[in-house]
Amino acid sequence: MIVHAPVAFSAMKPFHLLSFLPGPLAVALVAALLPAGAVRGEEAAGLVLIPAGVHEPVLRGQDEPRQVAVAPFLLEARPVTNAEFLAFVRDQPKWRRSRVAPLFADAGYLAHWAGDLELGPKAPAEAPVVRVSWFAARAYAAAKGRRLPTTAEWERAAAAGFRGERGADEPEYRRVALGWLAQPSPDVLPAVGSRRASVHGVHDLLDLVWEWVDDFNTTMTTGESRGDTGLERTLFCGAGAAGAQDLTNYPAFMRAGMRSALRARYVVPNLGFRCALSP
């Protein structure tokens, strides 16, 4: 895991008094003192503190624990927009549509933009950027001194409800999460931040676009959905035999299925991303 120490430090600036504490401890203390989602210093940078929690993988090997501890981290409250990604490709020409190496992004990369440096009607400035590869998403995050969230971090944030930590217990959360899966994505996506925020203050996790995570390639299902044939035991070593653990969390299954089907150069019309930062 890359830790961008200077940036992490600057994210901590509002809490100079706490800087003598180890980072995670300071953040935990801050989290305890402030209402969730109201960490002022990060808010300016579009980041929200997600307090320490757990991730319960829907797919896991026989010997894997039911819960994975997730340390406190900072997550962008909204997915990255077309306007923000445009600024990035202005700055880094090798990620422009006409220049990107096919090794790092399939044909179709930013295909809905009007041009290399022109968004056009299908890509409103405030809509989430989509049709970006994992490589491009990660390069964007790195340019910002951030990183992509891990699967555990992303799922831990998305498992929180509108009112409490366990979204699965809230009928409204279940309705929203399942409702989005039942609808096709519109050709022109709505603006980021347009969806109701989680209890931590994170928008659009359930019902805007799919999102890249840093370690999407850790999701292994029985028989790759990419067309490989043969028995799972021959495809994967050891604990690759991930079995379903919680059949009630359908959206999380869908996300796991989505991740297992991806490759890092793929671009998808409703797959975007947001960045994270270790405190």
Site for other proteins in 179-238 (CB under 8 A): 215, 217-220, 224, 226, 228-231, 234-238
Apex 278 CA angle, 169 and 77, nearest 5: 50
Residue from 33, 87, 117, 239 in contact with other proteins (CB under 8 A): 239
Q: How many binding residues for other proteins (CB under 8 A)?
A: 34
Q: Report the amino acid identity of residue 153.
A: E
- 16 is written with which tokens? 């100079």
Output 102 or 186, the one with its CB closest to other proteins.
102
Shortest Cβ 255–other proteins spacing (Å): 16
Shortest Cβ 145–other proteins spacing (Å): 11
Query: By CB under 8 A, is residue 243 in contact with other proteins?
Result: no
Query: By CB under 8 A, is residue 240 in contact with other proteins?
Result: yes
Query: By CB under 8 A, is residue 61 in contact with other proteins?
Result: yes
Residue from 73, 88, 134, 140 in contact with other proteins (CB under 8 A): 134
Which pairing describes strands 271-272 and 210-211: parallel, antiparallel, or unpaired?
A: parallel
Q: Report the amino acid identity of residue 200.
A: H
Site for other proteins in 62-91 (CB under 8 A): 63-65
Q: Report the amino acid identity of residue 22.
A: P
Output 231 or 247, the one with its CB closest to other proteins.
231
Give the per-residue SS3 of 162-205. CCCCCHHHCHHHHHHHHHHHHCCCCCCCCCCCCCCCCCCCCCCC
Output 15 or 216, the one with its CB closest to other proteins.
216
Shortest Cβ 273–other proteins spacing (Å): 14
Query: By CB under 8 A, is residue 248 in contact with other proteins?
Result: no
Output 35 or 238, the one with its CB closest to other proteins.
238
Contacts of 23 (CB under 8 A, 6+ apart): 8, 12, 278, 279
- Phi, psi values for residue 107, rounded to 5°: -60, 140
Query: By CB under 8 A, is residue 25 in contact with other proteins?
Result: no
Residue 60 host element (H or E): strand 59-60
Shortest Cβ 136–other proteins spacing (Å): 12
- 18 is written with which tokens? 């706490």
Question: What is the Cα–Cα distance from 87 to 117, expressed in whole angstroms?
Answer: 9
| Partners of 68 in beta bridges | 55
Question: What is the Cα–Cα distance from 5 to 279, expressed in whole angstroms?
Answer: 9
Judged by the rule CB under 8 A, the positions of this chain that interact with other proteins are: 1-2, 5, 61, 63-65, 101-104, 134-135, 215, 217-220, 224, 226, 228-231, 234-240, 260, 263-264
